Amino acid sequence: MAQTPVSLDAPKVALQGHLDSWVDSDRTSTIAQVADPAMANRFVPVARGLERGQVGAAVWIRFTVVNRQPADKEWWLEVHPAFLRHIVLYAPDGRGGYAAREDGTSIPFAQREIGYRNPLFKLEIPDGELRTYYMRIDSGVWRTVKLTLWQPTAFLSAVGKEQLLFGLYIGIYMLLTLASLWFERVMRDRVYLCFALYVSGCIFTTLTTTGLWQQYVMPAHPQWFPALFMLSMAFMFGSCIQFFFHFVNMPRSRPRFTRIYLNSVWTFCALAFMFSLTPYGRYAVHLVQLGMVLVIIPASVIVLWRPALRSANEIRLTFIVGGVFLTGSFFYVSLVNYQFLPSTWFSQNAMYISSMTFFLIVFYAVSRRYYAMRLDKELAQHKMLRISHRSEQELEKLVDVRTRELIKAKQSVESALSHAQTVQREQRQFIATVSHELRTPLAVIDATAQNLEREAAAASSKGRARVQKIRQATRRLSLLFDDYLNDERFEQFSHGISPQKIPILPLFEDAVDAAQALSDHHVPHIEVDPGLLLHADPNGLRLILRTLVDNAVKYSPPGSNIVLSARETLGGWHIDIADDGPAIREDERERIFERYYRGRARANRVGTGLGLTLARQFVQQHGGELTLICPPGGGNIFRIFLPVAQV
């Protein structure tokens, strides 16, 4: 039985309750076949929207109208929802046939009769005349369809209000997104970033499901709409699950499980999107909704339920109230879309209302979280300020104590330094006095020895030898005073060295001349390039060479060779003082450089045990090293290494 005709007696007339439908399973019927009176009985009344049928079928809708307003012959037919792929309206052409007009997401906006987000057709309906219209809907997985006839002025007025509401709706979403991104930048908490992504996904889905994306963003590319529609759905579902996991702190409590679960959800969404690009893409939306409703959403609720109950009050209440509200709205809309419940104004706007309410609740919760963290931060700052103030006071006390200790230590050091300087001056004065007092007896002894030597010229050789030994001993003692009991030695230690370019040959000759008083027919050999220049302190190197040559003369047999040589080497110079004397015992080779140490072979020799110690110290002041080499064939070589750049 056909539905009763619709009487157009108001500016807006809903056609629900006045529609007949027939499902064309093979999608081959034409308007001539469908409008044939023999087909009339195949149409059945649509009580609650379109009848559920198999996926991929075409749906024919029939309705009859009669215009009761003589002044208004032009009416606009709005078809809802906006994402119907292909719609063909067959209007009577006045000649017994029907004229076809197309609309839907597969038609570019420039080819539509009226540029509006929903399919919209202009109808000319004469006064008092019954007119029957047919509409063929081919939308893949078709949903509830709502038809409304408008007078143009009433429609334009409604569209103005609608655009205002959509502007407020999307504007609030964008403000929530920007605020969340600001919170994320300030707090460095990923839950705000996930919330911003979730809200952005809802904005994207709203634009595609309402037709605003195709109307304002991509009006000339309808071929991309199915993929973008599927992308918006997949992104919104994935970002929703990810936000809830971060909202209840699952990445911290169960990081590995969270990573696996979220990767699985995003993989499912990515596969659904790629599936929408195939020839079977019309099943993609159906697949996503079934997967979410039957698997992912129930599993997520089960997984997150216990962590949510253990979280803070705002998280727990938001998860329970908001999650149940949003999930219930999603299930409700799904039941309406699949014809289990009737389509109403609330069902058409349920997702907008529920998502807006949910996002406001969540934003309130995350804002409370921010304010709680900010309060904790301020409390921590106040605590740190108190600790800092207390530490500052303690530090001031400690600095005062340390300052007094430093002043006391400074006074002690100054007193010790003054005492040391006094002792040093007295020591030098004493040394100068002793040196002066000893030089006079030495001069007397030497003069007496000279007289004895002249008087003993005709005496025996034995007497002359004894006199010569006295003179040698006198000269040796004088040399000891010259080397150790003078200010020059102390100045070397107190003022350091002054390296400069100097020739080595004059220093070798000076060392040989100074050792003649101790020499017993020793034969000196100087092997050096006359033009060889070294970088060293001349006074310090002179004392070093005198000490080494004196030792070579004192501890080598009479008549033996003393070889002085110098040569350039890698990074500096080698200076060798070699003798033919007996090799120093192995267990004494390092100890001879110790202060006051004298080997067993030197026990009967004149000396203080300071010469080699001072010589090594002077060499080290040059940045070099003094070492002893004992060749297998006998003898001793004292080697000085002086670097090019002294430290």
Q: What is the pLDDT of residue 280?
A: 76
Instruction: State pLDDT tens for residues 593-629.
Output: 887 776 655 545 555 567 788 888 889 988 899 999 9
Count up the domains in the chain and report the number: 3
Which range (54-58, 70-74, 530-534) has the least confidence? Answer: 54-58
The answer to whether residue 87 is domain-embedded is yes
State both tokens at 30.
């034409």
Contact (Cβ atoms closer than 8 angstroms) between residue 210 and residue 82: yes
Clarify whether residues 101 and 242 are in a common domain.
Answer: no
- Spacing of C-alpha 337 from chain mean position: 48
pLDDT at 142 > cutoff 60: no
Mean pLDDT over the full length of the chain: 82
The answer to whether residue 493 is domain-embedded is no
The answer to whether residue 422 is domain-embedded is no
Q: How much of the chain, in percent, has pLDDT values that exceed 70? A: 83
Contact (Cβ atoms closer than 8 angstroms) between residue 600 and residue 592: no
Q: What is the pLDDT of residue 502?
A: 92
Q: What is the CATH number of the domain that holds 81?
A: 2.60.40.2380
Q: What is the pLDDT of residue 138?
A: 83
Among 124, 150, 176, give the residue marking a domain's end. Answer: 150
Q: What is the pLDDT of residue 514?
A: 82
Query: Which pLDDT band holds residue 506 (cuts at 50, 70, 90)?
Result: very high
The answer to whether residue 443 is domain-embedded is no
Clarify whether residues 278 and 137 are in a common domain.
Answer: no
Q: What is the pLDDT of residue 127?
A: 84
State both tokens at 139.
């939308």
Mean pLDDT of 559-564: 92
Clarify whether residues 247 and 172 are in a common domain.
Answer: yes
Clarify whether residues 108 and 236 are in a common domain.
Answer: no
- Spacing of C-alpha 160 from chain mean position: 50
> Tokens 């195949």 map to which residue?
42
Clarify whether residues 107 and 138 are in a common domain.
Answer: yes
Cα separation, 8 vs 70, whole angstroms: 10
Q: Which domain, by its residues, includes 133?
A: 6-150
Among 150, 176, 208, give the residue marking a domain's end. Answer: 150
Clarify whether residues 230 and 317 are in a common domain.
Answer: yes
State both tokens at 84.
């119907």
Give me the phi and psi of 4, to 5 degrees please. -75, 150
Cα separation, 417 vs 504, whole angstroms: 39
The answer to whether residue 471 is domain-embedded is no
Query: Which pLDDT band holds residue 53 (cuts at 50, 70, 90)?
Result: very low
The answer to whether residue 523 is domain-embedded is yes
Residue 98: HSE in the Cβ half-sphere, 13 Å Cα cutoff: 20
Among 312, 340, 371, give the residue marking a domain's end. Answer: 371
Please name the amino acid found at residue 14: A
Q: What is the pLDDT of residue 416?
A: 84
How big is the chain by its Cα radius of gyration, in Å?
A: 56
Instruction: State pLDDT tens for residues 370-391.
Output: 677 777 778 888 888 888 888 8
Clarify whether residues 201 and 105 are in a common domain.
Answer: no
β-pair partners for 568: 573
Query: Which pLDDT band holds residue 577 (cuts at 50, 70, 90)?
Result: very high
Clarify whether residues 32 and 117 are in a common domain.
Answer: yes
Q: What is the pLDDT of residue 647?
A: 41
Q: What is the CATH number of the domain that holds 250?
A: 1.20.1070
Query: Which pLDDT band holds residue 139 (cuts at 50, 70, 90)?
Result: low
Clarify whether residues 87 and 205 are in a common domain.
Answer: no
The conformational region for residue 188 under phi > 0 = left, psi -120 to 50 = alpha, else beta, is: left
Clarify whether residues 183 and 140 are in a common domain.
Answer: no
Q: Exposed, middle or buried: residue 317 (CB in 10 Å: 0-12, 13-18, 19+)?
A: middle
The answer to whether residue 474 is domain-embedded is no
Closest Cα partner for 288 from 274, 304, 308, 303?
A: 274
Instruction: State pLDDT tens for residues 402-456.
Output: 888 889 888 888 888 888 778 777 777 667 666 666 766 766 677 777 777 777 6
The answer to whether residue 43 is domain-embedded is yes
Contact (Cβ atoms closer than 8 angstroms) between residue 644 and residue 571: yes
Q: How much of the chain, in percent, has pLDDT values that exceed 90? A: 22
Query: Which pLDDT band holds residue 640 (cuts at 50, 70, 90)?
Result: very high
Residue 81: cis peptide before it, omega within 30 degrees of 0:
yes
Q: What is the pLDDT of residue 439?
A: 66
Q: What is the pLDDT of residue 601?
A: 55
Clarify whether residues 108 and 171 are in a common domain.
Answer: no
Distances (CA, A) of 77 to 30, 103, 114, 160, 467: 22, 12, 11, 17, 148
Instruction: State pLDDT tens for residues 146-160.
Output: 899 999 999 999 999
β-pair partners for 314: none
Mean pLDDT of 628-642: 90
- pTM score of the predicted model: 0.54
Closest Cα partner for 40 from 64, 7, 73, 14?
A: 64
Q: What is the pLDDT of residue 3?
A: 65
The secondary element (H helix, E strand) that includes residue 112 is none
Clarify whether residues 283 and 196 are in a common domain.
Answer: yes
**Most confident by average pLDDT, 88-97, 273-282, 296-305:** 88-97
- Positive or negative, the CA dihedral 74, 80, 83, 89 is negative
Query: Which pLDDT band holds residue 98 (cuts at 50, 70, 90)?
Result: very high
Instruction: State pLDDT tens for residues 203-220.
Output: 998 888 888 888 888 888
State both tokens at 411.
């006074």
Residue 418: HSE in the Cβ half-sphere, 13 Å Cα cutoff: 6
Instruction: State pLDDT tens for residues 277-304.
Output: 887 776 777 777 788 878 888 888 888 8
Instruction: State pLDDT tens for residues 470-485.
Output: 766 676 567 666 655 6
Cα separation, 159 vs 442, whole angstroms: 130
Q: What is the pLDDT of residue 627?
A: 92
Q: Exposed, middle or buried: residue 463 (CB in 10 Å: 0-12, 13-18, 19+)?
A: middle
DSSP code at position 4: P
